[in-house]
Structure 1
């Protein structure tokens, strides 16, 4: 157990799979009580069964809906206590050429990736302000640092997450609360697997060739693993990172420098 985490309530959004589930397991292993938040309650329950320790909570919610977020945080407080750590991981990626990007797709990307982070931060902050300490980590993307073709809506939303991170970090700098972003490159998740399938379907290329193309963006020529992202989050939530705030930390093999 790590004294910096033991007994502290860490809410992880988008926790049912991929990076979110790995973050939940990593923080639970440090002794935190995990509030698992996502759309699929059954999937969240399956993740809870894999977490070490006890006292973990589950709440189903749409992070883009204010009433849903408020109800979820109230339920998680009842189960796990005041929120000490928030990891805004919930996100969605859809691709389309810019001129074929509908208003609906645009709004959907902003709602899930950006508005969700805003709403969850507002829901968690009262507990942190009362305690005089806290950690917020927003899972952004290298797409929020440099942009990619054919994902203008997603990239704009993730750029917004980084802007939110920087502004909120300054506002909270004297409150004992740090706010940072972790920016993974292409990571071994359902989102990447869907992107690979999309390339295969549209081009007829093999799955191996499509995956190699994504890996080639990384100077290390590899796909990032969820555990690598989770460990960056763990460090940012610990005491050793108390002076680190307002930063966007790339986990991408040198893709962004």
Structure 2
């Protein structure tokens, strides 16, 4: 797929992985829609990208808000050629102590939101005979993770959704893939480090090292590495893949 001139919408585009993906796609010439709940960080990313970046706020767990935001994006930049489902979040707790509200909210932002956003673009992509859908999942969506069962379950569901959509899209010019990072140097990673410090008394460096060892590479992944994998999937005809980056 030619990225130059294409319209890419990135959810959770104001920080971390989403911001890096938006920048990487913009560097390839894409028109960018940055979508998220908080306007200020979205504006900051848009300012760094330049005139081809458009900002619209939205809670991706609310289908009505998603419909309104996507309509605004299309009005600004035209049909959405590339959708990156990046918005997400995690909480940690032993399964036996989980409240249903935590389960439901985690599933909503990491899985339901992927459904809402993908439904907004899929029919138009099929009609156009072209489109790319990439969901930022996690290694937790490929392997079980202790103390993060709602997050792991939601990411497994997101990966499964991409694989199912990919089968339906065979031969239609539309691909659906997932990238599955391990620990990435983002605000969410910083919160994990803070939690370890609080509960164990370890230093920040010790907590970072402990988490880094859980990645097969033995180091923390950068947002730019995830962004590069997304760009590669957008360019290619690969379909139904779950690319592990760890």
Q: Which band: TM-score by shorter chain?
A: over 0.9
Match of 1:109 in 2: 106
* Counterpart-to-counterpart distance in 2, 1:81 and 1:55: 12
Following TM superposition, by how much is the alpha carbon of 1:175 offset from its aligned partner in structure 2, in angstroms?
1.2
* Counterpart-to-counterpart distance in 1, 2:47 and 2:35: 14
The counterpart of 1:10, out of the listed 8, 30, 50, is 8
* Counterpart-to-counterpart distance in 2, 1:163 and 1:195: 26
For the 8 Å contact 1:15–1:36, the answer to whether it is kept is: yes
Following TM superposition, by how much is the alpha carbon of 1:234 offset from its aligned partner in structure 2, in angstroms?
0.3
Report the TM-score when normalising by structure 1: 0.94
* Counterpart-to-counterpart distance in 1, 2:125 and 2:22: 19
Following TM superposition, by how much is the alpha carbon of 1:124 offset from its aligned partner in structure 2, in angstroms?
1.5
For the 8 Å contact 1:12–1:34, the answer to whether it is kept is: yes
Give the match's secondary structure for 2:105.
helix
The counterpart of 2:159, out of the listed 158, 162, 177, is 162
Following TM superposition, by how much is the alpha carbon of 1:126 offset from its aligned partner in structure 2, in angstroms?
2.8
Q: Moved runs in structure 1, 4+ residues, more than 4 A?
A: none
Match of 1:251 in 2: 245
Match of 2:115 in 1: 118
Match of 2:86 in 1: 89
Match of 1:141 in 2: 138
* Counterpart-to-counterpart distance in 1, 2:129 and 2:226: 27
* Counterpart-to-counterpart distance in 2, 1:220 and 1:91: 24
Match of 1:77 in 2: 74
Following TM superposition, by how much is the alpha carbon of 1:247 offset from its aligned partner in structure 2, in angstroms?
0.7
Give the match's secondary structure for 2:117.
helix
Segments of structure 1 that go 5 or more residues without pairing to the other structure are 253-257
Following TM superposition, by how much is the alpha carbon of 1:43 offset from its aligned partner in structure 2, in angstroms?
1.2
* Counterpart-to-counterpart distance in 2, 1:46 and 1:14: 13
Match of 1:185 in 2: 182
For the 8 Å contact 1:178–1:245, the answer to whether it is kept is: yes
Alignment partner of 1:60 is 2:54:
no
Match of 2:126 in 1: 129
* Counterpart-to-counterpart distance in 2, 1:60 and 1:208: 35
* Counterpart-to-counterpart distance in 1, 2:114 and 2:7: 18
Report the TM-score when normalising by structure 2: 0.98
Segments of structure 2 that go 5 or more residues without pairing to the other structure are none
* Counterpart-to-counterpart distance in 2, 1:202 and 1:134: 45
